[in-house]
């Protein structure tokens, strides 16, 4: 049975959304290379839509349809799918290896706010189509 996690990541305030996106895409390729066959079956990223130029306050506000701007301080939600929980644990062990963990953390410096990183296990997923 597939095992899925949901990851929420946030850029550093001085990092533009476009820089964050390009750095994260390169980061995913690094993680894929470092973890090899233990990389998830899929790593799907959904980016919050933000303007390419900052506002007069130097921020990149999103178009909030319901809620507050502060509800959307993160920049991307990623859904990672593994074959099963054992495959996830192998991936987790691999990224925890000292050399790999160091390479991942060093790559995240300067663009990703690790203090705001959130990861949760997904439960049942339902989808309704037209």
Contact 25, 19 (CB under 8 A): no
The more confident residue out of 56 and 22 is 22
Predicted confidence (pLDDT) at residue 54 exceeds the cutoff of 90: no
The more confident residue out of 11 and 58 is 11
Q: Which 3-state string (H, E, C) describes 3-50?
A: EEEEEEECECCCCCHHHHHHHHHHHHHHHHHHHHHHCCCEEEEEECCC
- Mean pLDDT over all residues of the chain? 96
Predicted confidence (pLDDT) at residue 52 exceeds the cutoff of 90: no
Q: What is the pLDDT of residue 57?
A: 84
Q: What is the pLDDT of residue 125?
A: 87
Domain ranges for the chain: 3-121
Predicted confidence (pLDDT) at residue 39 exceeds the cutoff of 90: yes
Fold of the CATH domain 3-121: Alpha-Beta Plaits (3.30.70)
What is the mean pLDDT of the segment spanning 104-122? 97
């Amino acid at each position: 049975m597939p095992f899925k996690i949901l990851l929420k990541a946030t850029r550093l305030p001085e990092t533009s959304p476009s820089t964050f996106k390009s750095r994260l895409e390169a980061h995913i390729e690094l993680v894929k290379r470092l973890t090899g066959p233990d990389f998830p079956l899929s790593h799907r990223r959904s980016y919050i839509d933000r303007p390419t130029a900052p506002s007069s306050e130097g921020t990149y506000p999103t178009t909030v349809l319901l809620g507050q701007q502060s509800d959307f301080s993160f920049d991307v939600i990623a859904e990672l799918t593994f074959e099963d929980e054992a495959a996830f644990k192998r991936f987790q062990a691999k990224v925890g290896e000292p050399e790999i963990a160091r390479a991942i953390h060093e790559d995240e410096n300067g663009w990703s706010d690790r203090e705001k990183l959130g990861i949760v296990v997904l439960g049942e997923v339902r989808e309704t189509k037209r």
